[in-house]
Chains A and B, each alone.
Chain A
Amino acid sequence: MNGNLTINVNYLTRVEGHGNIVVEVNDGKLQICRLEIVESPRFFEAFLRGRSIYEAPHITSRICGICACGHTLASIQAAEDALGIKPTEQTTLLRKLLLHYEELDSHILHIYLLVAPDLLGVPSFVPLIKSNPELVRRSLKMKRLCNELCDILVGRHVHPISAVVGGFTKLPSYNDLEEMHKRLTELRADIETTVELFRKITFPIFERDTEYVALVNDEDEYPLLYGDIGSTDGYRVSKYEYKSVTNEFIVPYATAKRTKWHRESYAVGALARFNLNHEKLHPKAKEAALALNLKPKCINPYLNTVAQIVECVHCVEDALRIIETLWQKGINYDEVVIPDINERGILPQRSGEGIGAVEVPRGLLIHHYECDERGIFKNANCIIPTNQNTHNIELDMLKLVPEIINQSQEEITLALEMLVRAYDPCISCSVHMVKVNFK
């Protein structure tokens, strides 16, 4: 390592939210290596206070347009836990379906629009319209299919309408089930093409061993909607003990809190889920992993994108299975829910605490609520996947920079940007959800 190097990426592009990368090398010594989060805080936890816990999914969905369905599901789980509401089997199936749509939509956006341009050597998908029109058309079509799936199930993808505390305000008709099945079958073909495409693409080679954290449970299903919190270091705790996992801490230069469990940092997301639960993936997803040469325990963070492709295969197959199950069982339309914040005075109300822990596209998302006897918010706390990844990303950068220090400044900058993007950070989420002390 020789000489001086300063890298300042202000407003990292093709990520959700505002973040900067800062690297300084003096006389060949790495002085500073940071991922700074500079998003304006929005103070969601503060202004939830005084509102009805029944409104929580609607409001917290607005934390993030990309993970809107994920926030909604974590929020519903926390609110129902606090209120003592048990979802029906039908509701749980529909929620699992919604979560699959969320993973698909977000992963496809990330794989095609945010990551692929780097791998194909262009600054965005726009130049690809000319050079790879087929790829652009396919990605836009896949995005449209995911949106249409959400439109049918919950009204729309950005801020789902019908998923509420207690169930759904609108239940899919048989025609809807058929339409969703049709679109998923179409999507299945495009995802197969995606697997073929990525077999030919080489990702940067870089490894750093870390602790991977994701939901785990004893069922045969790949856990996404509920479970305990597990780690590749062999630990497992209930979601109610999430604070013993997250151990939040602050660094002076970043606006978002960070987390660590047994090591200096841990990672969440598709790669973490793959590393912990690969055995529970659908057989077709396992085949895709094999074809893409993704093997557990994979410690190359760039391959998070590959894990996302494998999950896309799984989510399509499992979504088809859920729809077929619903078709066979028949939908019970008596379960439709009126979106009440208890104007009618007939809803369950009690003072309590509740926790929602859901695997959203970027990893483990936790909502923790406390309400009074009228169901009014006293406290709220959310732990966002990107917060859990930030410190891990920075430690990756610390190891990566010396390994590639002889490359040009442009190459180093690109390698770092790609590394951060691989985690699919959602910076809007990460800032306003930081902490609240429960007394």
Chain B
Amino acid sequence: MSKPKVAFFDFACCEGCQLQVANIGEPLLDVLDIVQVVEFREVMSEKWNGDFDVAFVEGSITDEHAVERIKKIRERSKILVALGSCATIGGVNGMKNSFDLEEVGKYVYGESYKFFPTLHTKAVHQVVPVDYFINGCPIYQPEFLTVLKCILQGIPYYVPEYPVCVECKLNENVCMYDRGVTCMGPVTKAGCNSWCINNGNICYGCRGLTINPNTEGFKEVLKNYKIPEDFLIRKIEMYNKCKEFDKS
């Protein structure tokens, strides 16, 4: 049996999630034993004209050119994986959607803004069907390897439905609310092992909102700790602004 052909592509993003893959270190050699990476522009010059068994896509879709490109990649791929927040939920690129697009263009590029046509930021699944999601900004390497194993065995991967708080409690962190600051942990999908809170920071919600976030309970928490609601809205928007396209 020939090795599955794997490719990496990127759209509007920082390329940090692909770097997380390259950063796996020596275990990368074991991965390369069982798959054939045929295209990975960030670290390889090799190109491939055929179909892909698995395509990993990093980044959000933010212009017409990207819409066409992702459609073509989808046609050539048996399995398409959204890699990282920009691809799975739009990520920080979504903050642009709170502004008028023409105004945003003019602010950054002045009168030359017309050379840089831009669309409202979308996550990959809001443009083409996606088979697997690997959340996080950046992705959490152990989860990447787990998902890769699922893909190669042909079984689904289920993103945890419980919030980051569950993992955070197991890690015995002091609750950030008790330290007086707003944390997105109560409404954010787990799976990162509460990476940021373990390091003394808050959860920024980069893995996306849980399917049924307990928003009312969350508002209650905010009230208890006297935290203004608009702080929360802005914190949700940092990564999750594109969610509004899921409703339509």
A binds B: yes
| A438 → B minimal CB distance (Å) | 12
Minimum CB distance partner of A379 in chain B: B107
Given the contacts A43-B104, A124-B44, A140-B28, A17 and B11 also touching, CB distance less than 8 Å: no
The stretch from A164-172, A275-283, A324-332 touching chain B is A164-172
> How many residues of chain A are within 8 Å of chain B by beta carbon?
69
Inter-chain contact A344/B180, CB cutoff 8 Å: yes
Give per-residue flags for A50-76: 1 if the beta carbon is below 8 A from chain B beta carbons, else 0.
Answer: 110001001100111110100000000
Minimum CB distance partner of B121 in chain A: A42
Interface residues of A in 117-154 (CB under 8 A from B): 117, 123-126, 129, 136-137, 140-141, 143-144, 147, 154
Complex Cα spacing A109 to B198, Å: 27
Chain A residues near B71 (CB, 8 Å)?
A: none
Minimum CB distance partner of B15 in chain A: A65
| B22 → A minimal CB distance (Å) | 7
Is B146 close to A, CB under 8 A? no
Minimum CB distance partner of A257 in chain B: B109
Is B195 close to A, CB under 8 A? yes
| B241 → A minimal CB distance (Å) | 9
Is A156 close to B, CB under 8 A? yes
Chain B residues near A290 (CB, 8 Å)?
A: none
Contacting residue for B43 out of A41, A55, A125, A159, CB 8 A: A125
Inter-chain contact A155/B195, CB cutoff 8 Å: yes
Minimum CB distance partner of A170 in chain B: B200
Complex Cα spacing A14 to B12, Å: 17
Give per-residue flags for A331-342: 1 if the beta carbon is below 8 A from chain B beta carbons, else 0.
Answer: 000001111110
Give per-residue flags for B220-234: 1 if the beta carbon is below 8 A from chain A beta carbons, else 0.
Answer: 000000011001001
Given the contacts A41-B118, A62-B14, A428-B13, A162 and B201 also touching, CB distance less than 8 Å: yes
Inter-chain contact B107/A46, CB cutoff 8 Å: yes
Chain B residues near A68 (CB, 8 Å)?
A: 14, 16
| A342 → B minimal CB distance (Å) | 9
Chain B residues near A344 (CB, 8 Å)?
A: 180-181
Complex Cα spacing A164 to B19, Å: 22
Inter-chain contact A141/B25, CB cutoff 8 Å: yes
Inter-chain contact A40/B108, CB cutoff 8 Å: no
Chain A residues near B16 (CB, 8 Å)?
A: 62, 64-66, 68, 158-159
Is B165 close to A, CB under 8 A? no
Contacting residue for B196 out of A42, A144, A155, CB 8 A: A155
Given the contacts A40-B62, A169-B200, A169-B201, A65 and B19 also touching, CB distance less than 8 Å: yes
Inter-chain contact A339/B43, CB cutoff 8 Å: no
Given the contacts A47-B98, A341-B231, A161 and B201 also touching, CB distance less than 8 Å: yes
Give per-residue flags for B82-99: 1 if the beta carbon is below 8 A from chain A beta carbons, else 0.
Answer: 000000000111011011
Chain A residues near B46 (CB, 8 Å)?
A: 123-124, 126
| A405 → B minimal CB distance (Å) | 23
Chain B residues near A156 (CB, 8 Å)?
A: 138, 195
Complex Cα spacing A40 to B13, Å: 9
Contacting residue for B23 out of A45, A154, A157, CB 8 A: A157
Inter-chain contact B200/A140, CB cutoff 8 Å: no
Inter-chain contact B195/A161, CB cutoff 8 Å: yes
Complex Cα spacing A156 to B17, Å: 12
Q: How large is the interface on B (under 10, 10 to 19, 20 to 34, 35 or more residues)?
A: 35 or more
Inter-chain contact B115/A47, CB cutoff 8 Å: no
Chain A residues near B12 (CB, 8 Å)?
A: 40, 42
Minimum CB distance partner of A337 in chain B: B200
Contacting residue for A62 out of B18, B99, B137, B231, CB 8 A: B137
Contacting residue for A255 out of B66, B95, B116, B176, CB 8 A: B116
| B227 → A minimal CB distance (Å) | 5
Is B150 close to A, CB under 8 A? no
Inter-chain contact A168/B200, CB cutoff 8 Å: yes
Minimum CB distance partner of B180 in chain A: A344
Give per-residue flags for A3-43: 1 if the beta carbon is below 8 A from chain B beta carbons, else 0.
Answer: 00000000101111100000000000000000000001111
| B131 → A minimal CB distance (Å) | 24
| B68 → A minimal CB distance (Å) | 13
Counting chain B CB atoms within 10 Å of each CB, the highest count among A59, A65, A136, A434 belongs to A65
Minimum CB distance partner of A155 in chain B: B199
Is B20 close to A, CB under 8 A? yes
Contacting residue for B110 out of A114, A123, A435, CB 8 A: A435
Contacting residue for A47 out of B95, B110, B199, CB 8 A: B95
Inter-chain contact A158/B19, CB cutoff 8 Å: yes
Inter-chain contact B19/A144, CB cutoff 8 Å: no
Complex Cα spacing A294 to B98, Å: 50
Is B49 close to A, CB under 8 A? no
Contacting residue for A59 out of B29, B66, B182, B238, CB 8 A: B238
In the assembled complex, 18 residue pairs joining A and B whose CB atoms fall closer than 8 Å, in A order, are A13-B45, A16-B42, A46-B99, A55-B238, A59-B95, A66-B19, A129-B29, A129-B32, A136-B29, A158-B17, A158-B20, A158-B23, A161-B200, A162-B199, A164-B201, A336-B200, A434-B109, A436-B107
Known: A13-B41, A157-B23. 17 other contacts (CB 8 A): A13-B44, A40-B63, A43-B107, A46-B99, A46-B104, A46-B108, A50-B234, A51-B234, A65-B16, A109-B22, A140-B25, A155-B198, A158-B138, A337-B200, A339-B200, A339-B201, A344-B181
B contact set with A: CB distance below 8 Å:
11-20, 22-23, 25-26, 28-29, 32, 37, 40-46, 62-63, 65-66, 91-93, 95-96, 98-99, 103-105, 107-110, 112, 115-116, 118, 137-138, 176, 179-182, 195-196, 198-202, 204, 227-228, 231, 234, 238
